[in-house]
Structure 1
Amino acid sequence: MKVVCETERLIVRQFEYSDAEFIVQLLNEESFIRYIADKNVRTIEDACNYLTQGPMASYDMYGFGLSMVCLKETQTPIGMCGVLKRPELDLPDLGYAFLSQYTGQGYASEAAIGVLNHTLITYSLDSVLAVTLPANTRSNRLLSRVGFSIKGDVMLYGSPNTLYEFLPK
């Protein structure tokens, strides 16, 4: 298990195939499908393929990617957070998703700050982008709260998104 970072309440670690059941659960959350995409991950096999082609391929290619977020005390998986490199964007961007029962408790902000601090330093990045649908008010607020600024709009996967940029101080 490769730990990306630890915060006061969380451990962020790279995904493993043993996380496939959690991936099925997270990627089928109503909010994930509405605000991110329906990745058509319905089975453990689908989840393993998602992990292979997504986070694990990103770890191999860039050293970073989406990672599992667990509660530190219990090791309970609650979401994912990480920096990924999409071919559609010029710079790496922050991505995150959490199970609905763990939203509104500051976990996403805590994970995002930890991941940004780790990734910017470890990979010598000057800035990180983020994209979110304009209707995703919680995500828009989170990005502003952790230090992102609106850079403009961008079409991504056929939908207009708000484009943010994080510049470390």
Structure 2
Amino acid sequence: MTLTHAPTLETDRLILRSPVKADAEAVIAFLMDTSRAKGFGGYTNRADSWRWFTLNVGHWHWHGYGYFTIEDKASGKPAGICGIWNPEGWPEPEVGWVVFAGFEGKGYAFEAAQRVRRWAYEDLGLTTLTSNIVPGNTRSIRLAERLGAKYERTYDNPNMGEDMLYRHPGPEAL
């Protein structure tokens, strides 16, 4: 049973879909991995990680968008999350991504982010998107730049502290 009214989006190798209860374990495991989740605001306990998972469900209901679960078509397993994020205190809607352990280095984050960005522009009618990246997260910086995003400014994110805002090309440029 899906937990949101998220559409199902596809790429050649991925299904981007609504989160389901069975996805919670993979998300919680990621969030509690302090080295992997550092740039995502990881947590040190299961209860806070569970709250973030349910926060994403609520985000979908509040905004009509949030993080999709990235499902690997070949294995049927959750490979990460990617979506549009804009909680209280965010400067504007952001396209964000995370790839879980074992699914890195396959281009899944790039593939998912391209598809999510297209959905945000074509279906949601958004005209601009950012990616907010913690300084030092070189992998996310490289991915944002590969997606055509340009560094715009550094700002104080109330949840993450210092964040670098990268601006994505608008729909007319894609």
TM-score (normalizing by structure 2): 0.86
Choose from 2, 6, 10 the match for 1:6: 10
Q: Is the 8 A contact 2:59 2:87 kept in 1?
A: no
Residues 63-142 of structure 1: matches in 2 within 5 Å?
A: 63-142=64-143
Given residue 167 of structure 2, which amino acid in structure 1 is its aligned partner?
E
SS state of the match for residue 148, structure 2?
coil
Q: 1:50 to 1:29 in 2, by over 3 A?
A: same
**How far is 1:40 from its partner?**
4.0
Choose from 42, 45, 56 the match for 2:46: 42
Q: Aligned residues: percent identity?
A: 26
Choose from 138, 161, 166 the match for 2:163: 161
**How far is 1:86 from its partner?**
2.5
Q: Is the 8 A contact 1:4 1:118 kept in 2?
A: no
Q: How many pairs align?
A: 166
| Alignment-derived partner of residue 26 in structure 1 | 30
Structure 2: gaps of 5 or more residues: none
SS state of the match for residue 30, structure 2?
helix
Instruction: Write the deviation string for residues 1-44 of structure 1: whole angstroms up to 9, x where unpaired.
Output: 4543111100111112222211221212344432121234526x
Instruction: Write the deviation string for residues 32-84 of structure 1: whole angstroms up to 9, x where unpaired.
Output: 432121234526x952x3332x2111111111101110111221111111101
Q: 1:74 to 1:131 in 2, by over 3 A?
A: same
| CA RMSD between the two structures | 1.9
Q: What is the CA–CA distance in structure 2 between the aligned matches of 1:125 and 1:51, rounded to whole Å?
A: 24
Q: Detail structure 1 runs of 4+ shifted over 6 Å in the superposition.
A: none
Q: What is the CA–CA distance in structure 2 between the aligned matches of 1:158 and 1:34, rounded to whole Å?
A: 10
Q: 1:71 to 1:3 in 2, by over 3 A?
A: farther
Q: What is the CA–CA distance in structure 2 between the aligned matches of 1:109 and 1:25, rounded to whole Å?
A: 22
Given residue 69 of structure 1, which amino acid in structure 2 is its aligned partner?
I
TM-score (normalizing by structure 1): 0.88
Q: 1:84 to 1:4 in 2, by over 3 A?
A: farther
**How far is 1:87 from its partner?**
2.2
SS state of the match for residue 79, structure 1?
strand
SS state of the match for residue 108, structure 1?
helix
